[in-house]
Chain A
Amino acid sequence: GAVVSQHPSWVICKSGTSVKIECRSLDFQATTMFWYRQFPKQSLMLMATSNEGSKATYEQGVEKDKFLINHASLTLSTLTVTSAHPEDSSFYICSAKGYQPQHFGDGTRLSIL
């Protein structure tokens, strides 16, 4: 079945560091990729939608200069958390859509000290 690879799975870093998370669709072309954020014991909140070759569409309240999204190819999207601070600590999950249904990566746990 369709597989989405997300890397890294866990990051611990100091405040002020920028962190890049990769999301790859391994056996299908993803015209659209989505980035979600999930706090403990809560649901997924959509952060942004990215289409290959165009600028991402951010949800209300999500800072586009803070969370940089690049979708350079049909199989790769990246999320960069710039100058991360402790309040950015969270679980970030990507998903990719070629054809129904959406397929999700395993998530990245980001811990900012």
Chain B
Amino acid sequence: SQQGEEDPQALSIQEGENATMNCSYKTSINNLQWYRQNSGRGLVHLILIRSNEREKHSGRLRVTLDTSKKSSSLLITASRAADTASYFCATDVTQTGANNLFFGTGTRLTVIP
């Protein structure tokens, strides 16, 4: 399976703390994307990092990519209760023609007010 794995599976932190989620994948990629999913809802795109990039920022989000280790991390700084959601990494794999995304197993983040 090309599905990635994320750790931790669940993370619970206090509001104001930083949250770090990790994603590992198996094959060569064009890019890696992070998505957020609130319970029972669709996915919201957060950030895309290309295979030739190592770090990217967007607001309170910081994403790193290490293609040699086939891993990525998502850091949410100064977390808020509204950040409570599931977070998925998704890889755009080079081998597939349609460029469909392969999703990681997800991290359920709970931010306690």
Contacts and interface: CB of A to CB of B under 8 A. Distances in A.
Interface of A: 4, 6, 32, 34, 36, 41-46, 49, 51, 57, 91, 93, 95, 97, 100-107, 109
Contact of B98 (A4, A32, A101, A103): A32
B22 to A, nearest CB: 15
Interface string B77-101: 0000000000010001000001111
A43 B103 contact: yes
B40 A101 contact: no
Nearest to B105: A43
Q: Is the interface of A mostly helix, strand, loop or mixed?
A: strand
B41 interface: yes
Q: Is the interface of B mostly helix, strand, loop or mixed?
A: strand
Q: For chain B, which range describes its interface: under 10, 10 to 19, 20 to 34, or 35 or more residues?
A: 20 to 34
Contact of B99 (A97, A104, A106): A97
B8 to A, nearest CB: 14
A49 B88 contact: no
A7 to B, nearest CB: 12
Nearest to A41: B108
Nearest to B45: A101
B109 to A, nearest CB: 13
Given A41-B108, A43-B3, A43-B103, A107 B40 contact: yes
Contacts of B99: 32, 97
A100 B48 contact: yes
Closest 10 CB pairs of A and B: A106-B42, A104-B43, A104-B42, A44-B103, A43-B103, A107-B42, A101-B45, A49-B98, A43-B105, A105-B42
Contacts of A102: 33, 45, 101
Contacts of A6: 42
18 contacts: A6-B42, A32-B98, A34-B101, A41-B108, A42-B105, A42-B106, A43-B103, A43-B105, A43-B106, A44-B103, A49-B98, A95-B43, A95-B101, A97-B99, A102-B45, A102-B101, A103-B45, A106-B42
A48 B88 CA distance: 19
